[in-house]
Structure 1
Amino acid sequence: MTTPEWSAASLRLDQDSPIPLYAQLATQLREAIDGGALAPGARLDNETELAARLGISRPTIRQAIQSLVDAGLLVRKRGVGTQVVHNKVARQLRLSSLFDDLTRLGKHPGTRVLTNGAETASEHAIGALEAPELESVHRIERVRLVDEEPIALMNNYLPPGLITPSDAELRAKGLYELLRSAGIRLHAAHQNIGARNATEEDAELLGEPVGAALLTMHRTTYDENGRVVEYGWHVYRASRYSFDLTLPGAR
């Protein structure tokens, strides 16, 4: 294990217990994650090493790890291995788009598509999508409206070939709905919320004065295999929008 506070040597499995070995292993890994010994970003030893160290089969290791992947605690990343996810919420994540949230609240979302197509991958896009070999990306830019009033300016990078939505589809559905409809299983996201003042471009698109307060959000979304399937950077009118968060108490 890469974190100094914890190592696989601390794992103890009881071969005589009626509790399946995979469940014993999953429980101990979950406790290490919940207790902070396995920090976000920490990597597990590979399945072969864990199986040899614990004296159990690889399928048993794989079953234990998959149960924690399904619970939103671990993510598999190609070329990296199995990691503790950045998100500390111990449940399967349900990711939703602004379009979905507005519809759920009984609003009438609208969309003005500004950009929708392939472009050469910039260094920023390559880093955001965690794909050093990337040559092009699918870029989407749109203004989200509520009852015909602009509320947010939304930008997204998608890996090429993932989906190629038409402007009409972007006006009718949220991005996550389009991804799920294409068979992409969204697993986890890392999100950062901040604020800044409106530029002249922001002001023109959102109907706010230059210098007005805007909320910002940057989000990287992963599928069940640890692949980045979407990177978004959005700005919201602080006068018309707020983020509502529920925080769990300390255990």
Structure 2
Amino acid sequence: MSTLDIAIDRSSPVPLYHQVASAFEKAIREGDLLPETKLENEIALAKRYNLSRPTMRQAMDHLVREGLVVRQRGVGTQVVGPQVRRNLKLSSLYNDLQAEGSTPQTTVLGLDVVTSDDFLQEKLGLKSATEVYHVRRLRSVDGRPLALMENWVPLAVAELSIEELERDGLYNILRRSGVDFRMAHQTVGAMVADKDQSSLLDMDPGSALVVMSRTALDGSGSPIEYGHHVYRADRYSFDITLVS
């Protein structure tokens, strides 16, 4: 169990629960409370900080809503760390993670050449059965699994290798091959993890996953790549800005 020293100002107009929640949030985001750290139960925390149990529960509820901790039956309250928040724009997960200061790591689970079926021919705008790369990767952040990614790229677009895919993001590799990404058709949904997904992503079977499918197009409007990715829902979300 981990403890945290918190200076609570009872004369402040800031609610007590918010002071506590903010202190925990700061410690989690700055790495003082690491992912998988177990916290004391609410009764013990309330006693430690001389607060009422309802106040302590409010603070923990706030951290749960922010995706920083989870409550699990038989385990208690556990730090999961800040979520990766990704804007809906044409960019790669690799570059988005780097932009926010994280260190992405990639394990290539498979790099095969397959013949496109009807589904891939539709997604990639292929007129007939064509050889394409099928890339399967595990993307981790600071050593913790985040996403399982499958991508299909026609052989004519670029030459791919395991070594390069583990060093860099797929979109960076394709750009170096002359691909000019301009737009994409993307859908976002949800599912629960099966046995294989949960094993690779280090989570319980049946846990929530965010699902994203995308067909990326170049400047001429031609499909270049189709991807199907799943992400740990406790560590990943999309940010969407709506305007009228």
Q: Give the TM-score normalised by structure 2.
A: 0.62
Runs ≥4 residues deviating over 4 A: none
For 2:178, the equivalent position in structure 1 comes to 183
Give the distance between the partners of 1:178 and 1:163, measured in 2 at CA. Answer: 8
Q: Report the Cα distance in structure 2 between the residues aligned to 1:139 and 1:230, rounded to whole angstroms.
A: 10
* SS of structure 2 residue aligned to 1:116: strand
Q: Which residue of 2 aligns with 1:50?
A: none
1:204: which partner in 2?
Answer: 199
In the other structure, the counterpart of 2:235 is 240
CA distance in 2, matches of 1:133, 1:122: 9
Q: Equivalent residues in 2 for 1:43-82 (5 A)?
A: none
Q: Please list the CA deviations of residues 66-87 of structure 1 after superposition, one character each: whole Å capped at 9, or x if unmatched.
A: xxxxxxxxxxxxxxxxxxxxxx
Return the alpha-carbon distance in structure 1 between the equivalents of residues 116 and 214 of structure 2: 18
Q: Deviations over 1:3-27 (max 9, x none)?
A: xxxxxxxxxxxxxxxxxxxxxxxxx
TM-superposition CA deviations, 1:215-249 (whole Å, max 9, x none): 000001100111100000000000111111222x2
1:131 Cα deviation after fit: 1.0
Matches within 5 A, 1:1-251: 95-247=90-242, 249-250=243-244
Aligned residue pairs total 157
| CA deviation after TM superposition for structure 1 residue 94, in Å | 6.3
User: In structure 2, how many angstroms separate the alpha carbons of the residues matched to 1:144 and 1:226?
Assistant: 28
Q: Secondary structure at the match of 2:237?
A: coil
Calculate percent identity across the aligned residue pairs.
41
Which range moved further: 116-125 or 137-146? 116-125
Distance 2:179 2:89 in 1: 13
Distance of 1:244 and 1:145 partners within structure 2: 20
Q: Contact 2:117/2:129 (CA < 8 Å) preserved in 1?
A: no
Deviations 1:134-169 (A, max 9, x none): 322111110000011110000001112211221121
Q: Contact 2:130/2:154 (CA < 8 Å) preserved in 1?
A: no
Q: Is this contact kept in 2: 1:187–1:223, CA < 8 A?
A: yes
Distance in 1 between the 2:125 and 2:178 partners? 21
Q: How far apart are the structure 2 equivalents of 1:195 and 1:184?
A: 30
Provide the aligned C-alpha RMSD in A.
1.4
Q: Report if aligned partners of 1:111, 1:144 keep a CA contact under 8 Å in 2.
A: yes
Q: 1 or 2, which has the higher strand percentage?
A: 2
Q: Cα distance, 1:100 vs. partner?
A: 0.5
Q: Which residue of 2 aligns with 1:54?
A: none
Q: Secondary structure at the match of 1:132?
A: coil
- Structure 1 unmatched ranges of 5 or more: 1-92
**Does structure 2 conserve the Cα–Cα contact (< 8 Å) formed by 1:125 and 1:137?**
no
- Quote the Cα distance in structure 1 between the aligned partners of 2:122 and 2:200: 27
| Structure 2: distance between partners of 1:122 and 1:115 | 19
